[in-house]
Structure formats: C-alpha cells, structure tokens
Structure 1
Amino acid sequence: MLNVVIVDDEPIIRLGIKASIEWERLSLRFAGEYANGAEALNALRETPADILITDIKMPLMDGLELTRQAKALRPSTKVILISSYNDFDYVRQGIVLGAKDYILKATMEPEELNRIIGGCVEAIREETETAHKLDLYRKGEDMLSRRQLEQDMRRLLAQEQEGLEREFAVRFEAGYLLVRAALDRLDDLLQQYGQLHVGLLMDDLKDVFYRQCPDGIGFVSGEGELLLLLDRRSASAGRVAQLKEKLELESGVSLSVGYMERRSPGSWSASCEWTRQVYDRRFFDGAGGIHAGDQAEVGKGREDGDQERIGSHVDESGLRIPEWLRKWERMKYDMKRVKREASDLFSRLFVRRLEPALLLAYYQQFMKAETLPELGELLENGMRDGEQLPHVERTSVSQLIIHKAMAYIRERYTQELTLQMVADHVHISRNYFSVLFKKQTQLNFIDYIIQLRIAKAKELLGDRSAKVYEVAELTGFNDVKYFSKLFKKMTGSTPVDYRDNGTAETGSESHG
C-alpha cells in the first residue's frame, strides 16, 4: 500500500480531504496530517510519503519549500498542491519543482480528488514496473558479462591462452589469489539430501561469494567445489578466512579451503593445480582448514612411484586397520596412494566373496573418503559387510534384495523414508544397502526418492486447482520453498507455471 500525507493549516480542509479519499479502492494508507510544512518535513524524514497533498500557503514553511525538500528526500514522491484562485503563479512554480497536479480549494470535489490521486497511483505503479524491468535488464546484462568471465576463467585455468592471458593480466595487474573451496562431508550430503540439493547449495554459495566479492570471479568447478579468483589488492589471507566464515555461516556447511597467492598475473594453470592440494591436506589434517600455497611443498613427502607397495605382503587373516592407519599417517602428501592401498587390502580379502561390480562400488567409496579416519571407518564397514555375505555374491541375490527394496520404497516414498529404514526392511547393513542400491540403479537413494516425488508432483499439478503447498505436502516435502526450487531445477519450470501451463517453460528438463 502507498503512504499518503496531508498538509494544510486549516483543520477542516484536512478533514475533508481525508474523508473524501477512497483509501481501500486505491490501496492507500493514511500516514499522517500536519498543519504546516515544517512539521510535515520532520515526519517525512522518518517515513517518506508516496503521495503528498499539501497546501501552498502555510506558516513556518510553505508548500513550495515543502515540495522541494520532500522531492529531495524522495524523488519518486508524487505531490498534489492545494491552491486558491489567486495562487496560479505559485502553482506554476510547484509544477516546475515537480508537483504532479493541483486542486482548487473552492471547487474541490471528491471525484476530482480521487481522479488526481488515482493518476498518482498509476504513475507510481508504472514507474515501479519500469524500474523493475530495468533492474532485471541490468541484472541480465551483468549475468551475461559474469558468465563470460567465468567461462574465460575456466579456459585460462585449464590451459593458458595468449588472448586471455593479456586480458586477465590487465584485470589482475597487481596479482591475484586463487581459492579452491571444497564441501566437507560431501558424500553424507549426497546420501542425505541428493545431488539436486548439493547443486542448489553450490549455486547459493556462489551467490554469497559474489555478494561479498562483486569484483571477483567464481564458478562451480566440480561436485561440491568452487574456484574463486580475487584481486590481490582487495584480498589477503585474512580476507580468505572472512570469506570462508561468511560462506559457511550462510550455507550451514563446513568448507576446506586452499589458496595460492601470486604477486603478479600469470602461472594460472600451475596455481590451479596447486590448490588441488587442499584435498591432500584435508585428508591428513582434518576437514575445515585453510591451507596457503607454498611452491616448495609441491611434491614434498611423496614416495617413489616405483617403490613396492606396503600392502603387498599383508597377511589377510591378520589385518588390523589401526596399524595400517598409523602407517598411512606417515605417508602424508600422498592421499591417492593411501586410498589405493586400502582398496588393494579390501579387494585381496573379498575378491572371492563379492562380484566385481560390487568390489568396484566399494573401491569408489574408498576413493571418495575425505579424511584418513573416514577411510578407516569405510574400510571397517566394508569388512564387516563382506564377512556377513555368502562366499559368492550372485547377481540374482543382489537383484532380489533391490527388487524387494524398490517395492517397499514405492509404497512409502511420499512419507518419511530413510536409507536405514529400507536397509532394515531387506535385512542388510545401511552401508551395504547404499553400495548395492547405487550399483543397481546408478543413483543415490535420496536422488531416487526425489525423482519419484517430483514425478508424483507433476501428476498432481495436472489438476490446475491444486495448491502448490498441498502438492508439496502430498509428495513428502515439508518445505514448499525447497520443493519449488527442486522442482524448477528438475523440470525447468516453477510448480505454478507447470500447473498453469501443463508443461515446462523450456520444453525440456534442466539439470544444470
């Protein structure tokens, strides 16, 4: 609603104007009445008016000076002058100052007053709509420019190109900081919320980055990973720490960060490659850290690639995970080798018990471990699962388990349903069911549930009278805003547009 202020030194005029205005029809709110311009101006400094109706001749401050100062406070304010027959010279001055219209006191009628006020309301609406369109246009232009910069940054970091090098050398002539921010506990997030949720989360993190660093460049460089480029003149180690804190605070997640500082532009690919060491550092030092680049450390602590693997003489019957964890702890800066060792040990134990596809699924789990303790936990879980299986895991047995699980899921997917609940139903461990489900469906459990729920939502939205919040509840989503974001991410259309049009805006599904 629009605020209306009335100013006149005659109480009866103020009363008559207030009584004549069609407040509800015009969507107006009475914001105060004053006997002179000085009182009105003090009030306008606290709460600016959308429409100001003022007499011209008043004590202390006349209507012309009030118009000038009110427009200075808020140029969009619409001023309607109230004049006498002999005030036409003043009216002309008021129009020059930006008054919208005028009313003669002697002939003022409610119809005329509401017609003039209605014109002000329409003008405000048109200006608001134009400003909104202009804002969208500018944002669109900024977005296109930003996307081009992000694409150029991708190409530059992948392989230096002469044209781009010159462009970025000018943009970052004082040097730069290249920051890699990686989500901690990514696999847990994927298992609990799904890939779509993580994708939305990364988009939100990028938005936070641009709000904090509007002159920076950033893009989602991998699953759960951001690459951010900052001008060295406005960035430092302290700035990286502040940015990390802000990203974590607004997203509710933990991040591990690695960054490389360069005092002059260049060496883009080398800097990008170095920031990958954040994963090695996190693996041995723990999640949530900030790791500064040091070229001298590249390659430090790595073992000779031809050296015999420490697991080659393992006695399979005597494997003790804590012992291997201590040995791996001493192999710092060689995360990949440690993971290969763990995979070899597990494979050697269960190569005759598990089918190759299932062994591969466990291998993929080990390779995604973010920290050494997490790798140890995955290895222990895998061993426990493997020892409970028959000596040969037949494909038909796996398919039978998943078939039973699918039937259970389809009966209950619109209700609260967890991985543990389904694993209990088919009488296997949560970890083993997760591996088996991913192997059979190529999807995480929660992503499969979300696909079912969105498909059901599309079916329900076929009824154009369906309320979006009702569809969200009926398909198992407790948060209608989150449901809407997921729905648009999967279909390219909001639930409202899908319900009204019966089809996605883009004509095809979007998973970008």
Structure 2
Amino acid sequence: MRIVVVEDEVLVRKGILSGIPWEEHGIQVVGDAADGRTGLELIRRLKPDMVITDIQMPIMDGLEMIRLVRKELPDTAILILSVREDFGAVREAIRLGVIDYVHKLTMSPEELLESVLQARNAKAGASDELAKRPGSDSGSASALGLPEWLAGAQADGEDREFVPEGRLFAVGIVRLPPDSDGGAAGRLLAAASEPGLREAILHTAVPDSVFVASASPSVEPADAESDEMLAARWRDDLAAALRKLGPEGARLSVGLGAIRGRTEERNEAYREAQEALAGRFYSGPGSAHLYSPEAVSDDSSEDSARFAPTATLKAYLAALEQTDGDLAVRRFEELFPAVPSTRISPRLVRERMLQWQSSVALLLGEWGYPLQGFWEQSSPFEQLNQLDTYEELREWCWRFHTVARELLEDCSQNGRRSEIEQAIRYMKENYRNPLRVQEVAAHVNLSDNYFSFLFSKSTGQPFVHYLHNLRVDKAKELLREGSLPWYEIGERVGFDNPKYFAKIFKRVTGTTPAQFQKNK
C-alpha cells in the first residue's frame, strides 16, 4: 500500500513519517507535502492508494484538495486529521467520502497505524466482492443474463424473454440478509401469484436479487393511472408473498420500480427499484415498496435541516460532560428521535450520525480516552455503513452514547476496576471452554464495547491476546509434564484447532508446541 501525507505542521508531519514502522506492515510513504496545492500535485503524479491529510492548511485547504482528488482519483482512500472545532469541515469531509478520521491533538502512532490498516483491509474486502460480481470467473453463468440485460445488452435470443414484445414491465430488487442461502428470492417469487416474474442474482457478494415483472398478454398499455394501479397490484402481491414465507419473508425486503413500456428504459427502471428499496430504511425488513417520485427525499428540505443540526449536536456534547445523565439522554433523543420524518434521506442520516460519532470520540480523546483499540474489528465508519435501517443505526448510536457516559464518569477513578479483576478470575476458571468477550462482559454486567476498552486499558492488551496468553501458559505447564501429545494439550486448554493452537503458541513463545515439548 502506498500513501501520501499532507500536513502543514512540521512536527506532526515528521511524526507520521518517522514515528510509525510503516514498512513492517507492507506500507510505503511515497511522498509528503505541507499544503493542499502541493499535496494535490503530488497525489496526481504518484497516484497513491491512500492520502492522510489535515483539513486546515495554507494555500489550499484539505477540503478543496479532497474534492479534486475525489473527482480525479475516486478510488484513492482518504483519512483526515481533525480537531474538535472542525464541526462543519468534518461533516463535509464525510459527505465527500473520507474513510476515517484521527484526532490530531491526541492521536498516538498506534492509533493512526490501526486506522490505516483497517482501511487497507476494508479496501481489500471490497476488491474481493467486486471479483464476485457477474462477469467475473466466480459468477454463475445462469445469473448473468438479467444483469447484462439491465446494463444495456441487446435483447435478442433468450434475453427477449425478460420482457416479451409490447409488454408493460417493472424492475424489482430483493434485499436478502447476509446469511441467506441465496434461494430466498426464488422462493419469494414462486410464492407470488403474478406469473410474469423472472429473477437472477445481481451481486453475489452482497446477496441482492433483481427480477422483472411483466404484464400478462391481456393487459394493454394504458394511461398513467392504470399503470399505477398495475404497479400497486404487483407490490401488494409481493407483500402477500413475503407473508406466505413466514419468518423467512420477515427478513426480506422488496423494491419495485414504476411501470415501463419500452425496454430502452430498463436502466431507469432499475434505478427506480433501488430508490424504492430505500423505503426499508425506515420500515425495516418484511415489506414491499413501490417507487414514487414524491417519496424521493431532498437534503434541502425543512425536515432534513431539522435532523441533528450543529446547534443540537453542540448542546448534546455539553450535556454529555455534565453529571446529569437524564439531560444527556434528552439531548440524544433530540438529535435522533425514535420516529423521524421519512422524508430525510438515509445518506444524510448516516452523515449526521458519523459526524456525531466523530464529535463524541474527539471529546473523549480530550478527556484522555483516545479509543485506540476500541473498534476491534472495523472502524465506526464501516460499522455504520453496514447497518441497513434507522432503528439499527439509532441503536448503535445509543450503545456508543452509553459507553461515552460510562467513560466520562470513570475519569475520576484510577487503577484496575473490580469488574476487570472479576473478569480475569472468570477467564482463569473457564479458559478451557469457548470464551467470547460478550460472555465475559455479561458476567461482569458491562456492555461489550465498554468492557473491551476497560480490559485493554487495565491489562495493557486486548481481551483476545490476554486469553491466548493465558491458554498458552497453561499449555506450557502440560507440555512440561510430557504425558500427552501437544495437539491434545491444545484442545485441553481451549483451542479447538491444532493448527491454530500451534500458530498462537509460536507467536507467543517463538517456538512450536512440539519443539517446546521436545526441549522441555
């Protein structure tokens, strides 16, 4: 991975360049600049995989540079350095598609390195998903016809069956849960009474299915009102099919575009289906949605302007630092009401929630909680973008609010908390069994994220590393005795896979279990 650093403060820039062992992680810093204009020229010439940039800079600020990079090199990942006062700038950066932020005043080398590695892993995962899309070697040949037709391929031969000559049609999309077996869309369409439905997988990595609904021969092209009635009938038919599938149908969602009469309009029909599917953001899964031009949200609308505005965000942050927990809850509910206006676009909701999360994280950093290692698997940007509904997003924000309150209340306490001592005792008693952080956190009555943070802070290492070290220490005792083979000892101390046991043992001790046992 090749990165460019753009930062006007010399000490910060030099710290990023020389204070992090980039090459040990397969990362090369190919250039650095002290202002946005020089940085832009450097980025244009070097075309790096990632840019780390400040926002406030001379000659050309970071936002203007990001806008131009996004336009000319859209695949370049961008990570920003921010401070708490950059409310509007961070919000605009999020809108421009930055992947993450790091608090400039409190960041550690480890925190910045972790953010870059997470971004690299996310980019690699996106490339893997792209490789699975129709047209790649891994795609199913039977699933390619309809997506190719939607992409503009000529409707000849077998493709003509998607929309027979002179028929009215609409394009639909079925959103499947991530753990779906892939056949749920087919079962849904089989349960529908409309005979003119044809379905194919559009994107095998994120399992959406696309289908075409075409009118029976008895339906003649009619006026717009009749078209709307036909589309509503198809929508109701699909909603009934969802109910027929029971629990499986309750996890699916359908978006249906407007009625079309010309196959040349199929791309527009597919775009309408995507917009219709966005209706699940507020209703949740288990429903069918019909495209309506009036339902398309406008970010400049009065409802959008009232959702999580800057003034309300600042009032929330002020309340968060006070001892009155009820006031902080009221301010949270003002930011993210339980029942918001459905006229607010999902994209804007995510932007405002990301802005809120970054502001809270910056506040915690100022209190001495930079949250390094807090997001164990993926960044908050990735987590929020993976959630599909407003209810899920609001619940995520509420959990983070709870953690923030606990952290701020904990500022006056020093040393290891009794909950962590209790958790360590529990781990020593149960290390032979499958142990997850959720189980141990529940045992000591703490939230998962807050427990993970406190555990790392108190012990100096993440929960998983501590558990691995504990199990390896127990394994070393048994290996010294020499009465059991090493792979059976691995199983006895909690590793269910001999290869994984050997890998972790060597990482901790520098030698394999078999070598350790031989040289005991």
Computing the radius of gyration from Cα coordinates, the structure with the larger value is: 1
- TM-score by length of structure 2 reads 0.42
**TM-score (ref. length: structure 1):** 0.42
